[in-house]
Amino acid sequence: MKRYFGLLFLMAILVASLGASAQADTLRVATEAGFMPFEFVDPDTNQLVGFDMDLIRAIGEVLEMDVTIANVNWDGLIPGLLNNHYDVIIAGMTITEERAESVLFSTPYFESVQTVVIRQDTEDIAALEDLAGKIAAVQISTTGDFAAEDVPGIRSIARFNTVSEAMQAVINRAAHAAVVDLPVAEAYLAANPSAPLRHLGPAAENEFYGIAGRRQNPELMERINEALAQLRADGTYDAIHETWFGAQE
């Protein structure tokens, strides 16, 4: 009997340690796949694809970790991270002081900027400030939302869960303009050539995307930063950039 319990005990330890190592060898990632070309669902394969998806999978390879990616609502990303539903977020997420109070950001991996998307027939909006007296459409709690909030005299802000809903609001004349990340506006216009929209180019200060992790796990972020540096040094970063944005000038 004693020996039997000893065996059970050993097996329990074995199972527990296997479980622990499986956990440690998996990088649980969350994104919000409505942000082409950074993360979106390939309609043909149903897979999550994009610049961020390639980058985080390459980081997983360097770290010798399996990568699982969950597709989550934008405003659920940080709460889910803090509740340990996943280890990191990669979602074209801009490094901001306020977010950095709750999450730990990697070194910047992409430089971006806000733009203003208007209907092609709109003539009285040429800059962010021209949204005074106007209705802006944004994705909720994004840097586009914050930039619109900062426009003196803005009439109102229509907040949506996704970028494409914000774009649709401009198409439908429910809003005068959308404030969104420039590379995403460009990809949207390229993918929807019949949308009667145009954008104003860079319309605010530059911003930088970072991978977000839990503040309690600085070791993981250190390893991710090392992997990022390696991918920049060995040309992988540039290859991924070329895949989604074409050759660099």
Q: What residue ranges bind ligand GLN (CB under 6 A)?
A: 32, 35, 74, 91-94, 139, 142-143, 181
Please report how close the Cβ of residue 94 comes to ligand GLN at its closest, in angstroms. 3
- Concatenating the DSSP letter of every residue in 133-198 gives TSEEEEETTSHHHHHHHTSTTB-EEEEESSHHHHHHHHHTTSSSEEEEEHHHHHHHHHH-TTS-EE
CB 77 within 8 A of CB 89: yes
What is the distance, to the nearest Å, from the Cα of residue 125 to the centroid of all Cα atoms in its chain? 28
CA distance 70 to 30: 5
Please report how close the Cβ of residue 195 comes to ligand GLN at its closest, in angstroms. 18
Please report how close the Cβ of residue 45 comes to ligand GLN at its closest, in angstroms. 21
Please report how close the Cβ of residue 180 comes to ligand GLN at its closest, in angstroms. 7
Nearer to ligand GLN, 131 or 179 (CB): 179
The residue length of the chain stands at 249
Please report how close the Cβ of residue 32 comes to ligand GLN at its closest, in angstroms. 5
What is the distance, to the nearest Å, from the Cα of residue 32 to the centroid of all Cα atoms in its chain? 6
CA distance 206 to 81: 26
Nearer to ligand GLN, 91 or 224 (CB): 91
Nearer to ligand GLN, 65 or 151 (CB): 151
CB 231 within 8 A of CB 58: yes
Nearer to ligand GLN, 87 or 181 (CB): 181
- Concatenating the DSSP letter of every residue in 204-216 gives S-EEEE--EEETT
Please report how close the Cβ of residue 184 comes to ligand GLN at its closest, in angstroms. 7
